[in-house]
Amino acid sequence: MKTLLITGAAGGVATLLRRELAGRYRLRLSDLRPVKPNAPGESFTKADVASLRDALRISRGVDAILHLGAHSVEGDWETILNANIIGGYNLFEAARRNGVPRMIFATSNHAVGFYRRDQTIDHTVYPKPDGRYGVSKIFGESLASLYSDKYGMRCFCIRIGNAGPVPIDKRRLSIWISPRDLAQLVTIGIEHPDISFEIVYGVSANTRSWYDNRNAYRLGYRPQDNSEPYAAELLKVHRPGDPRAELYQGGAFVVSEEIENPAPLPRKAARKTAGKRGARGATRRAAASKAAVRKPTAGKATATRRRRAAR
């Protein structure tokens, strides 16, 4: 039986997938947060993907990696840099050094979130990320391309729409993927003999899809689910939000944090900027910047609602 390393194993997607993949693979679960192995063949190793040493430790001797461990919504630059950019690099590099032949990379619809909803896009469109998070996913896709071309790693990038038991709003009618459909894609990434570098959309067979997912179909994907049975009920309760969020596929991500640069400036640079623009203005901007960055995490319930609404 093949061994699959799952990073981000304490997260929502991994929790859905563990149920689907149990019994098919030996699952080596890893996360910053603890996870309780609860099926035969599951084990847990704590690790921070921002550490190359940790990445090397957890990826030794596995047949494939499903890289889910990341900051999974928009965030400040430091967070995205460490978890997604450095973390992504570490996982690919550790896989290379340990001779892991396959990488399944969880990328996102937010890598192409600035395409309009009246467009149908396929796997060949150029990137249009809708935030720092989306940029980090494009970075991961680029790593996949590089490690495939240069080192022969078989890399399968799944631009996940929104994974969950059911779609829960209008936007998700177009991007939803059921757990069993996502597990089918992951299995293609682990098993398909002809993959070198591929991008597919992680969506079910949704009638309202924004994606031409023929690349996934070419590789044998046969989705079992469609969001349409949920449409009438969800459309009944839909309240349009910001017009730009309604216009673009990325939804709320395209309008989140509309500030120059939400990353805190290094102290020296901040003092210089304050001198140039006026200290009070800079303080106000810094406070606004902090508030905007903090906004998504203001209160657990609010944060959860925002994450659900946005992804």
Ligand X SMILES: NC(=O)c1ccc[n+]([C@@H]2O[C@H](COP(=O)([O-])OP(=O)(O)OC[C@H]3O[C@@H](n4cnc5c(N)ncnc54)[C@H](O)[C@@H]3O)[C@@H](O)[C@H]2O)c1
Catalytic annotation, residues: 133
* 68 belongs to the binding site for ligand X (CB under 6 A): yes
Q: Is 10 in the site for ligand X (CB under 6 A)?
A: yes
Told to check if 70 binds ligand X by CB under 6 A, we report yes
Stretch that binds ligand X, among 6-14, 121-129, 204-212, 260-268 (CB under 6 A): 6-14
- Which region among 43-51, 256-264, 273-281, 297-305 touches ligand X (by CB under 6 A)? 43-51
Q: Which residue is nearest to ligand X (CB)?
A: 11
225 binds ligand X (CB under 6 A): no
Is 50 one of the binding residues for ligand X (CB under 6 A)? yes
Residue 13 as a binder of ligand X (CB under 6 A): the answer is yes
48 is an interface residue for ligand X by CB under 6 A: yes
- Tell me: does residue 83 bind ligand X (CB under 6 A): yes
Residue with smaller CB distance to ligand X, 20 or 48: 48
Cα(307)–Cα(295) distance, integer angstroms: 12
Q: Which is nearer to ligand X, 163 or 254 (CB)?
A: 163
Q: How far is the CB of 212 from ligand X (least distance, A)?
A: 18
108 is a site residue for ligand X (CB under 6 A): yes
Nearer to ligand X, 79 or 289 (CB): 79
Binding residue count for ligand X, defined by CB under 6 A: 27
Q: Which residues bind ligand X (CB under 6 A)?
A: 7-8, 10-14, 31-33, 47-50, 68-72, 83, 87, 106, 108, 160, 162-163, 311
